[in-house]
Structure 1
Amino acid sequence: MKLNAVLLSATLAATSFMTVNAHADNATRVAAASALGSVAGTALGKNMGGTTGATIGAALGGAGGAAVASNKRHRTESAIGGALGGGAGYTVGQNMGGTNGGYIGAALGAAGGAALGNKISKDKEYDRYQERKWKKKRRR
């Protein structure tokens, strides 16, 4: 029965990726996909390996969700943020509120980490663009 619930939640998460993909802004899409991936990874990891497996699953799910929803240029930073946020969020949430707190913490941590990683990547890209633009003006 638990395996059916995990498979159903993974299917719903995959379906939500496509739905969120069509209607949301990029940062929102990345955060939502990372949160859903982290929750699915947490549930799967908890069934396979207990608390340690849930932490690893939260990190991998958060990274995978963020990578799926990110632009090619911002994929790495978003995945790193989703992984760190998901793993840390699960640990903190589980210590504060048990199993349900762990799921909520994993979702919130992965969403925040992925959105932050995406924003950092966009800011770095903009800074590189401004630097090149300034150098071109300086050469004339």
Structure 2
Amino acid sequence: MKLNAMLMTAALATASMLSANVYADNTTRVAAASALGSVAGTAIGKNMGGTTGATLGAALGGAGGAAVASDKRHRTESAIGGALGGGAGYTVGKNMGGTNGGYIGSALGAAGGAALGNKISKDKEYDRYQERKWKKKRNRR
């Protein structure tokens, strides 16, 4: 019963967060969606395949949550960060605090990884923009 309540809460929170299409690529929104996806993936994976399933579920859930909440230009990097953070966070949290520590670790890891991936993608986009801008200025001389 406790697991069903947690899954339903995560599903409702994700649905309500993603239903509003305002500010599509906000880093906070990407991190929150990745964290919720990671926790839901961890719970489902734990029921299906034990600890290994929970790790894979945390990674897939974190990647899915980050990809859904990201803009298409930043989707890949956010998903990779969410997947790596979710899987690693679950493993570290499970070793430190048992099952509940695994859930908390997967949420924090996926949120941090997705936010970092999103930020790296935005920085790369800005650098490419500046480089093109500089080349245009140089070619005018």
Residue 98 to residue 20, structure 1, CA distance change in 2 (3 Å): farther
Between the two proteins, what is the percent identity of the paired residues? 86
Distance in 1 (CA, whole Å) between partners of 2:23 and 2:103 is 25
1:30-65 C-alpha deviation (Å, 9 max, x unpaired): 000000000000000000000000000000000000
Distance in 2 (CA, whole Å) between partners of 1:122 and 1:25 is 10
Asked whether the 8 Å contact 2:25–2:70 carries over to 1, the reply is no
Q: For residue 125 of structure 1, report the CA deviation from its aligned partner.
A: 0.2
Q: In structure 2, what is the equivalent of residue 72 of structure 1?
A: 72
Aligned length in residues: 140
Asked whether the 8 Å contact 2:78–2:118 carries over to 1, the reply is yes
1:61-119 C-alpha deviation (Å, 9 max, x unpaired): 00000000001100000000000000000000000000000000000000000000000
Question: Which structure 1 residue ranges, 4+ long, deviate > 3 Å from structure 2?
Answer: 1-7, 19-25
* Structure 2: gaps spanning 5 or more residues: none
**Larger helix percent:** 1
Between 54-63 and 13-22, report the one with greater CA deviation: 13-22
Residue 21 to residue 30, structure 1, CA distance change in 2 (3 Å): farther
Q: In structure 2, what is the equivalent of residue 98 of structure 1?
A: 98
TM-score scaled by length of structure 1: 0.91
* Structure 1: gaps spanning 5 or more residues: none
Q: For residue 5 of structure 1, report the CA deviation from its aligned partner.
A: 3.8
